[in-house]
Every structure is written in structure tokens, then in C-alpha cells.
Structure 1
Amino acid sequence: MYLPWLRGKQNELLALQELLKEGNLSKNILPIIEPLKTSTTFKRTLSMFNENEREIAVIQNTSLVDYPGFRTDDVDQLKAADSFVWAYQLTAEARQVYLQQDHKKMGILAANSDLDDASELDRSGDFLVLDRNDRHVMRKAHELNKISKVELNDEFHKRSRNVDYIEVPDELFSEEHLYYQDDGFKGFSDYSIIGGEYNESGFAPRAVAIHLVYFDSNERLRVHHFVSDTNDDIHDPGNKFSEALHKMMSWVDSKNFDSKKNKSSALDDFRKINLAGRYPGLGVVKKLTLKHHLEIMGRYLDGVL
């Protein structure tokens, strides 16, 4: 099972909505949302998962923004649905609140977590997300055998500037889908091509980069970076996007890319945008690259690559 950790920004939520609508979101994918605000898009996403009888986990105590748990009547109703998984980052303050919950829940032991006695967390039907880089957490959780353990890794090597991806155009993204079960995990989690570092607001980039995750011949996930050429200033982002997109479509059509193994509705949309010569905005680019990643990962987990 794959549990992508998303930050609840509009285009991330729209990616999930479109995958559900298209029937391209595998039942072996359970998204984790760390929400930022009670937006219409957020509430519609919860509604769609409920309508489709699909589970979605929502973190109740995010440290990214100051929010009151989204206590509005319509959200409270959605949180009572069977599809809603209550997720808590298990800080010392949140631990008792988490343990008192009767419904299906998810504990997250990552940054700022506090774990001395893990035995009280060991309950069948729940999930426990563990930061693989935290040796203390991993040692304490090793003894648990009832709860469904999920490993969390930050797989995307994020550079400070888009132009820096020119130096490393292609690199390994992840192999966890190949080995997580051998390591004793029920599932694996990462931040997709967004990365674990949270940035509240964007800025006009000098270079546009498109990050395309794909399966290689050994079924490892790699990521190829396509970067614009005219990177001296922030002007004309549409042209920068066109330069990066032309590079991506040429590579996708080459022998270096397994089009059968890595096909997706998002790639079809990129092809239409390229043929039309239009600029959809960088938010849409992120939405489509995320959709592509989740769709090909879902087909791998479903055994239909």
C-alpha cells in the first residue's frame, strides 16, 4: 500500500479529485493530507472520497499552520464518515487525544514525535507511520505486530534552484515499493515530487522544471528533470514552460522511456498542452506530474504494469 503525504494545496487536492473521477486512483493508495485551510476544494475532496467509499487520512494537528481542527458543521459531518481516517502526529500533547479515539486512526511518528512506550499503540486496524531516518522510533516500533506499520521517506532530492536540476537530469527516486513488505511494513509513504520541505508561498522562478517520475527496466522509480533554456530572468514563464515541455515530450517519445509501463492520463494531458502550444500555469504542471506518479504507482501495486 502506498500512502502519499500531500500538503493540501489546491492542485494537490485537484489531482486526487481528477484521479478518482477518472477511475485512476488505485485502492492500494491511501492519501495522507496535511491540510492548510478549510477550502471548498478541501471539503469537496473529502466528499468525493466519501462518495466513492475510499479512505483518506487527514492530519488533525499540523504544525504548518495555526488551525482549529476545521470545526465546521460540514467538515465535522465528513469526519464522521467511514472513509475518514483520523491522523495525528504523536507529539506528547497529541498522544492521549489519539489514544482516546475509537474510530479508525493513524499515528505518525516523525518530526517532534515522542515515543517511550510503543505497546499502547499496537491496535489492529490502525496505521502507524514511521520515519525511517529516526533510529529511536524504529527501535521502539520494532516490537509492534498488530498495527499496520508504514515507512516514511523523503525521496525527492529537492534543489534550491530549478536551474540546478540541469546538472543531474535523471536520478533514482525510490525503491521502497520493491522492498517494503520484506522489511516488515504494510505500506510505504513519501511526499511524491513535492518533497518534505514545506514552502508557504511560491515565487516567480528564473527556470521552469518539470519532474517526471517513471519506472525503469528494473521497476525502480526514477525521476527525470526537464529544465527550460532561457533562465536569465523571471520574464515569460510560458515560454520557459514550453521549452521544458518540448524536452519532456521528446524524451517520452524516445526509446529511453517505456511508454507501456509509464502511461497515464496526465501524460496524455501534457501531450495535448504541447500540441496546443498553451501555458496552463505552474500549478497545473504540479497537478499533472503528481497525477502521473500516483497513477503509475497504483498500476504497479495492482499488478497491471
Structure 2
Amino acid sequence: MYHPYFRGKQFELITIRETATLLATKNFVPIIEPVREALGGLERTLKAICDAGGKAIVIVNPYHGDHRESGVGISALLKNGFIGNDTISAGILLRSDMALHEATACYDAHKKHNPTIVHAGFTSPRALAEHLDGSLVGSRHLFVDDYAKILYRKHFEASTRILVRDGFNRQRNADYPPLEEFSDLHVTYGDMGMAGFGDFLIVGDSYSESGGPAYAVAIHLTFIDPDKDDVMYIYHFVSDTKDTPTDPAGKFAQALRKLIRRLESGKSKLLETSAIKEFRALHAKGHFPGLGYVKKLSMKHHIETLAGYLS
């Protein structure tokens, strides 16, 4: 059903491990694009998913990060530790710079890894569908909405189709509005003939190695509004201080106070998730856990919010 798309940085992998049981219980399937050379964290994450009885898709030919030139190490990890395990699927990422013969060769090389094709800019959908031919019915295809519109997706109607949409309008922290619409895909995916949906959580599809100096600190939290047809919205709680890269702890405290005030108003519509409880505890203690940890809490809250809605 729900397929959250993660880039495999430290706190993204930690988020998956900490929510592995919830993901498995709700039949949520994370997609992981490994971007770090070391694969120990990824291996621990996949084992946590398997131990919880869950499923995952691992991109074996990443577009971003340390494995962009070669995904041999990722393929070896799947072969040595997860071969014959249908719960872990090899994700074949098809971008605009990938030729048809490269796409089919990558797919054929991973047939024993329960492959999933991820469409993100590929330009030969019809030829690929013809290549798959008889195996199309049993195949699974994940479409990134910005790159694979309705006509593109029609070539794969016989398959299991999942639509992924980036609902996060990424910009400088200082420029975020207090509130904006995030997505309605969790409500509408079935109307488009999709078997599931996904997003890039509160991080977005754009990729950067690091966030740079935090001139402003923002806490991003999603909620589903039952008064607006269950559309998902996102709060951006932004620090008041925005003109210096110093004192991230003080800026976090400013943003956190805005979050707590919104919660205490009784009108936030935020689900009281484990992540929200931890934000409350951080406020009570006056503790700054680091920006990566804050992002992890926001990602956990997003997953827990969708789990609550889809329960």
C-alpha cells in the first residue's frame, strides 16, 4: 500500500529500523536508495525489516551518492544475505540517461531478487513493456509522478502499479510558510488504478550530501485534515532567528516552542504519535538532540500519521 522512498543516509536508515514493526504490521514497503559507500547500516536495516516480517525495495543502481558509478556492492549484499528472500526486492531505477538495453540487462540480472522497476525519467516505456511481455502480469512497477504521467503508465496496466509523488516543496528553511498542502494521493491513488502510493516523506526528492549551515531551523510535521476531504497538510515550524549560521540549539528551541504552542491550542490536528511525545519531552527538558535526530522524528511522525489514517 504505502511506499515511503528513503535515501539511505544514517538517520533515514535509523528511521526505518525504529519503525520496522509498524511498517510490517501495516504492510508498508520502504524503498531505499543507498547513497553511502559503507553498507553495514543498510544490512542492519534489511535484517530488522526481515525480523519484523516486513518487506523492502532496495535500489541496486542508485542515481545519487557513492554507488552511482556501480551498484555491484549492493547487488552482492542482496545475493549473499537475501537471495531467495522475496521480502527484499531489487529495485531497478530507470532514469533518463538509461538506454533500453541497459534497463533490460539490469532487470534480467536481478530476476532472482524479486525485482521492482522504478520509473523516474526513462524514455522507452513501450519497448520495455514489450520486452517484459509474458512476465508483465507478475511484475511490479513504481512510478515517480513527475516523470511518468498517465500515458506512460498505461503501457504497464497489466502489472502491479504504485504511484509515488513528491509532496514536499523544498526551499530554504527561512522561506517556508507556516502551513501548506502536502498531498491527497493517500485518498486518490485507487481512483487512478494504482495498487499503492508513496512519497519522499518530509525530505523531498531533491538530493544533497549535506544540509549546509542552518541559518534557520525548521520542524516539518504532517497531518491529515478530516474537514478537508482527508487531504494531508504540512506545518513548517521555523525559528525566528534566520540571519546567522550559529546557535542551532537556540533556533531549534524557538521552532519547538511554536510547535508546542500549536499543540496546546487544541487545533493542530496533529496525531499524537510517539514522535510528537518525544518532541514534547525535548521541550520539557530543554534538550537539542541534533538536526539529524529532529529530521528522524519528523519522518517517524509522517509514517505514524499515515499508519493511523490507514488503520
CA distance in 2, matches of 1:26, 1:164: 37
- Equivalent of 1:241 in 240, 252, 277: 252
CA distance in 2, matches of 1:8, 1:178: 27
Secondary structure, in 3 states, of the residue corresponding to 2:266? coil
CA distance in 2, matches of 1:186, 1:24: 17
Partner of 2:105: 96
Aligned residues of 1:25 and 1:295 also touching (Cα < 8 A): no
Partner of 2:39: 39
Count of matched residue pairs? 295
- Measured after TM superposition, the shift of residue 186 of structure 1 is 0.5
- Measured after TM superposition, the shift of residue 65 of structure 1 is 2.8
Partner of 1:141: 153
- Measured after TM superposition, the shift of residue 96 of structure 1 is 2.6
The answer as to 2:121 corresponding to 1:108 is no
The answer as to 2:81 corresponding to 1:69 is no
- Measured after TM superposition, the shift of residue 143 of structure 1 is 4.4
Partner of 1:299: 308
- Equivalent of 1:271 in 280, 291, 301: 280
Secondary structure, in 3 states, of the residue corresponding to 2:245? coil
> TM-score, with normalisation over the residues of structure 1?
0.89
The answer as to 2:50 corresponding to 1:50 is yes
- Equivalent of 1:196 in 184, 189, 205: 205
Secondary structure, in 3 states, of the residue corresponding to 1:181? helix
Partner of 1:85: 89
Aligned residues of 1:58 and 1:84 also touching (Cα < 8 A): yes
- Equivalent of 1:181 in 183, 187, 190: 190
Identity %: 34
CA distance in 2, matches of 1:112, 1:73: 25
User: Which amino acid is the alignment partner of residue 228 of structure 1?
Assistant: S
> TM-score, with normalisation over the residues of structure 2?
0.88
Runs of at least 5 residues in structure 2 that lack an aligned partner in the other structure: none
- Equivalent of 1:257 in 246, 258, 268: 268
RMSD: 2.1
Secondary structure, in 3 states, of the residue corresponding to 1:133? coil
Aligned residues of 1:50 and 1:78 also touching (Cα < 8 A): no
Q: Which has the higher contact order (CA 8 A, sep 6+)?
A: 1
- Measured after TM superposition, the shift of residue 26 of structure 1 is 4.3
1:17-75 Cα offsets, whole Å, 9 max, x none, are 11125x46643310000001233322110111111221110001112134233258765
Aligned residues of 2:91 and 2:115 also touching (Cα < 8 A): yes
- Measured after TM superposition, the shift of residue 89 of structure 1 is 1.2
- Measured after TM superposition, the shift of residue 95 of structure 1 is 2.4
- Measured after TM superposition, the shift of residue 142 of structure 1 is 1.2
User: Which amino acid is the alignment partner of residue 107 of structure 1?
Assistant: I
Mark the CA change 1:230 to 1:53 in structure 2 (over 3 Å): closer, same or farther. same
1:255-305 Cα offsets, whole Å, 9 max, x none, are 32235xx12111111111110001100000000000000111122222xxx
The answer as to 2:29 corresponding to 1:30 is yes
